[in-house]
Amino acid sequence: MDPIYYLYNDEKILYPIDLVMGPVALAVILTIGYLYCKFSIKDKHHSKIYLAGLSFKLAMSFLFALVYQYYYGHGDTYNYYAGARILIDHFWQHPNEVIEIFTTKYVNHSASTERVTDLHGFFGSPNSVIVIKTAALFGAIFAKSYLAMSFCFGAFAFQGTWMIAKAFTKARPNTDLFYVFCAFFPTLVFWTSGVMKDTILLGALGFMFYAFMKLFHFGTKNFVWFVVLIVFSFYAFSVKEYAVILFYASVPIFILGKMTYKLKYGMGKYFLKPTIYLAFLAFAGIAYFLIARYLPKFTPEILLAKIITTGLYIESTTGAGGSSYSLGTLDLMNPLSAVRLMPYSIFTTFFRPYIWEAREAFVLITAFESFLNLILVGFLIFKVGIVRIIRAILAEPILLFSLVFVLLFAAMTGFSLNFGALVRYKTPLLPFFYCLIIWLFTTKGFFISNRAPNPSGIE
């Protein structure tokens, strides 16, 4: 029997090899980061933020590995790592079968390949196997070192986060807070630092967002960015379909904003704007009909049903004594009944857990951050007012896109029904949320004097 058929159940992710390959991966990533700063970042101050943020991210990747090895002792990251080791080990015995795993769907595998994929249940999940494949590629380079894999995953997520902040900074120059929050906010950094789905998703969304803004907001006519948009859209879709669907569901709102934000006076205000809004509503109705007709598994009802089912499963496995919570009565036979709970789901995503709901150390940290979110949003609404905030968002398409994406994403992830899962699932929306908040706080006339210089703020 081939050596591959031993069990990967030793419940470890850290081995002596990490002491060697971890520093090697660290040196390689920091070198690439230095070269990126030297050739791609013109502002020296931004270069310092980038290198400091990358170093902090890699430190969190190291902490992530330690926490899962010595505090949790289990989790999805163990399964991804075990799957990656299976692929790497088997490649030296039967490379053709591993290539088949990389290039074909699970249901189309040959009988010999199924002997490998049957060793691990995650090979049967398309959303999980992409994480295994990515980890295997990094693991093949760094001798199956989990720490090295974690460094590589974390660096990818950091670069994606940086791209989000870069897009906002390009739209609103001289605002370094975009970079600072995205690079150093604890929950965002820690929970996207290991071998996990959310780490890949955040990195891919970052590249998608920057490429989209380069093409459709900043007017760049470069085919490379179109390729980047397509490639990372497929990559993110392979991890979590609903995130990409919500991303592109926000695009029509962005286009609507681009079409209307200059129509402030005369006929444009009183005739063209209402016409564009009506046309948009008609387009949305047609799009929904076409999706329901030709892509039924991607309708809002089906996506919501999948998320609710996952949330109920997590709730049932954690029990009432864990970090589970409830939004109310959920009817799996009628997923749209959850629509009435979506406002509470959005509130939960941003502002819970409350401090008294935290039963774990890491959930307690999230509780303090949620309390900070409540203070920030509450202060903004109290000092500025809902009407002025809405006007400011409508005046800038990038803000309108971010708001819609954040609300849609928050409405979905709030149904995870477990604070431990929620803190991970919501990380991809956090850069958009905090960049939106920072933009509003730095808008002229809100908290900054009207006499202060404002290179690209809202007039």
| Domain regions of the chain by residue span | 1-239, 242-459
Average the pLDDT over 28-33 and give the result. 97
Residue 448: DSSP 8-state: B
Q: What is the pLDDT of residues 318-365, one digit of tens each?
A: 554 457 787 777 666 666 667 788 888 899 999 988 888 877 777 888
Average the pLDDT over 438-451 and give the result. 68
330 compared with 457, residue with greater pLDDT: 330
User: In the structure, what pLDDT confidence band is assigned to residue 458 with cuts at 50, 70 and 90?
Assistant: very low
Q: What is the pLDDT of residues 371-421, one digit of tens each?
A: 999 999 999 888 888 888 888 888 888 998 999 999 989 988 888 878 888
pLDDT of residue 456: 39
pLDDT of residue 274: 61
User: In the structure, what pLDDT confidence band is assigned to residue 452 with cuts at 50, 70 and 90?
Assistant: very low
In the predicted model, what is the mean pLDDT of the chain? 83
Please say if the pLDDT value at position 366 is more than 50: yes
- Comparing CA positions, the residue from 175, 158, 261 lying closest to residue 217 is 261
Please say if the pLDDT value at position 100 is more than 90: no
Contact 201, 239 (CB under 8 A): yes
Contact 325, 417 (CB under 8 A): yes
3-state secondary structure at position 55: helix
- What is the rounded distance in angstroms from the CA atom of residue 162 to the CA atom of residue 407? 21
Q: How far is CA 246 from CA 83, 111, 333, in A?
A: 29, 37, 23
pLDDT of residue 288: 56
pLDDT of residue 450: 44
pLDDT of residue 101: 84
Contact 320, 427 (CB under 8 A): no
3-state secondary structure at position 182: helix
Contact 206, 163 (CB under 8 A): yes
- What is the rounded distance in angstroms from the CA atom of residue 223 to the CA atom of residue 293? 32
pLDDT of residue 264: 57
Q: What is the pLDDT of residues 220-248, one digit of tens each?
A: 888 999 999 999 999 999 999 889 988 98
User: In the structure, what pLDDT confidence band is assigned to residue 310 with cuts at 50, 70 and 90?
Assistant: low
Alpha helices by DSSP H, 297-353: 300-318, 342-351
Please say if the pLDDT value at position 188 is more than 60: yes
- What is the rounded distance in angstroms from the CA atom of residue 189 to the CA atom of residue 202? 11
User: In the structure, what pLDDT confidence band is assigned to residue 6 with cuts at 50, 70 and 90?
Assistant: very low
Q: What is the pLDDT of residues 54-93, one digit of tens each?
A: 999 999 999 999 999 998 888 889 999 999 999 998 888 8
Q: How far is CA 9 from the centre of its chain?
A: 30
Residues of the chain with pLDDT > 90: what percent? 43
pLDDT of residue 173: 83
pLDDT of residue 457: 39
pLDDT of residue 356: 86
And the tokens for 178? Answer: 């975009």
Please say if the pLDDT value at position 451 is more than 60: no
Q: How far is CA 302 from the centre of its chain?
A: 21
Q: Which residue has the tokens 């989990």?
A: 146
- What is the rounded distance in angstroms from the CA atom of residue 153 to the CA atom of residue 19? 18
Please say if the pLDDT value at position 194 is more than 80: yes
- Comparing CA positions, the residue from 404, 406, 395, 416 lying closest to residue 341 is 416
Please say if the pLDDT value at position 125 is more than 90: no
Please say if the pLDDT value at position 270 is more than 60: no
Residues of the chain with pLDDT > 70: what percent? 78
pTM score: 0.88
Please say if the pLDDT value at position 269 is more than 60: no
The burial of 457, by beta-carbon neighbours within 10 Å (0-12 exposed, 13-18 middle, 19 or more buried), is given as buried
106 compared with 401, residue with greater pLDDT: 401
